[in-house]
Amino acid sequence: MLDTYTRRSEFLAGIRDTLPLEVGGIPFGIIFGALAVNSGLSPAAAMGFSLFVYAGSAQFIGANLVRQSVGILLIVFTTFIINVRHALYSVTLSPHTKHLPQRWLLPLGFWLTDETFVMVINRYNKPDTSPYKHWYHLGSALFMYLNWNLWTLVGIVAGRSIPDLTHYGLDFAMDVTFIGMILPQLKNRPMTLAALVAGVSAVIFNDVPNKLGLIIAVSIGIVVGLITDNLTGETTPIESVTPPITTDEIPS
């Protein structure tokens, strides 16, 4: 029934459903904050990365490139390549969000992360008649943004007091989180094979400079998934396809 869905209920549901994924974001936010200040960035600059860039893997790579005194143009190009997968996300989400005005599209686009994408595409694809699913999207996205920035701040403070904070194995929680995100999406043979091939390819091309190996792996996985889909006839609507997600990724 329409009257069972409200803006408030959808917003709170987005927060509630995203909460388990926030656990994986905690150690990575801390690690980034510590890495950023230990790379020579001021606390304000490190915090600005999370507030205004808000792209986990790009932030890690950017901080490392700053530490290596790499030129600004190369930093911008590298982070652009890392985040090009968002074009896939936008194509997948556009049928569900194209009716929204710019005041909605701009913040939702900025706040889109791998975790939020997984949560909201599942919500959009549910067959109920709720007209407020974009409020679910907002709840998930805003909660993830606030969480990332909170733990970045903690990492900045801790990184100035505890040396080599990145060596404490905190990234393990993030690996577990992404495994939990990916497995429910493997609903048929094309998707399963695409994920397996992309994972193996990511290992093979791990040493390609500027993380371009990840783009190669994703491209190979997509091609394999499409070929398998055509051969098996197990067609999957584009709305339900989740592009392969890298295990070193947090908000993007």
Which of 177, 196, 211 is the last residue before a domain boundary?
177
Q: Are residues 144 and 192 in the same domain?
A: no
- Reading the chain (252 residues) residue by residue, the pLDDT tens digits are 445 889 999 999 999 999 988 887 788 888 888 888 888 889 999 999 999 989 887 888 888 888 888 888 888 887 887 787 788 888 889 999 999 999 999 999 999 988 899 899 999 999 998 999 999 999 999 999 999 999 999 999 987 777 666 566 555 555 665 666 577 667 778 878 888 898 899 899 888 876 678 778 878 888 888 888 888 876 544 444 444 444 344 344
What is the structure's pLDDT at 229? Answer: 81
- Residue-number span of the structural domain to which 230 is assigned: 186-238+242-246
Q: Are residues 169 and 233 in the same domain?
A: no
Q: Are residues 150 and 232 in the same domain?
A: no
Q: Are residues 116 and 199 in the same domain?
A: no
The answer to whether position 252 is within a domain reads no
Number of domain units in the chain: 2
What is the structure's pLDDT at 231? Answer: 83
Which of 125, 152, 177 is the last residue before a domain boundary?
177
Q: Are residues 133 and 203 in the same domain?
A: no
What is the structure's pLDDT at 39? Answer: 81
Q: Are residues 142 and 169 in the same domain?
A: yes
**DSSP symbols for the chain:** -GGG--HHHHHHHHHHHHHHHHHHHHHHHHHHHHHHHHTT--HHHHHHIIIII--HHHHHHHHHHHHTT--HHHHHHHHHHHTTTHHHHHHHHHHHHTTS-HHHHHHHHHT--HHHHHHHHHHHTS-S--S-HHHHHHHHHHHHHHHHHHHHHHHHHHHTTSTTGGGS-TTHHHHHHHHHHHGGG--SHHHHHHHHHHHHHHHHTTTSGGGHHHHHHHHHHHHHHHHHHHHH-----GGG------TT----
The answer to whether position 57 is within a domain reads yes
Q: Are residues 170 and 57 in the same domain?
A: yes
Q: Are residues 59 and 11 in the same domain?
A: yes
Which of 177, 201, 225 is the last residue before a domain boundary?
177
What is the structure's pLDDT at 185? Answer: 65
Q: Are residues 69 and 132 in the same domain?
A: yes
What is the structure's pLDDT at 199? Answer: 87
Q: Are residues 169 and 197 in the same domain?
A: no
Q: Are residues 145 and 194 in the same domain?
A: no
The answer to whether position 38 is within a domain reads yes
